[in-house]
Amino acid sequence: MYDKTLLKEKLEQIMDALQRINRRFAGIETPLDFLATDVNHDKLDAISMLLISETPISITQCREIGKLNNPAQRRV
C-alpha cells in the first residue's frame, strides 16, 4: 500500500511545480519565443528541470495510488 502522507506531500510538490511552470510560461506564445532571448531560454531550462525533478512517480506507484481510491482493486 502506498503511504498516504508521502502521496499527499508528493502531490503538493507537483501542484507547486505546476504553478511555477505556469508563471514561467508568462510571455511565451510560441515555442520559438523560448529561443528569442536569453531570459526566455532560461525559462525553458527552468521549466524543463521542474518537469524532470517533480515527475519521478513510477507506473507501479500510480497503480498503488489508484488502489487507494478504488476499493475493488485493493484485493488484486
Ranges of each domain in the chain: 4-73
**Per-position pLDDT tens, the chain of length 76:** 557 787 788 788 888 888 999 999 988 999 999 999 999 999 999 999 888 876 666 666 667 766 666 666 555 5
The one-character DSSP state at 76 is -
Report whether 67 contacts 8 (CB < 8 A): no
Question: Are 27 and 33 spatial neighbours (Cβ–Cβ below 8 Å)?
Answer: yes
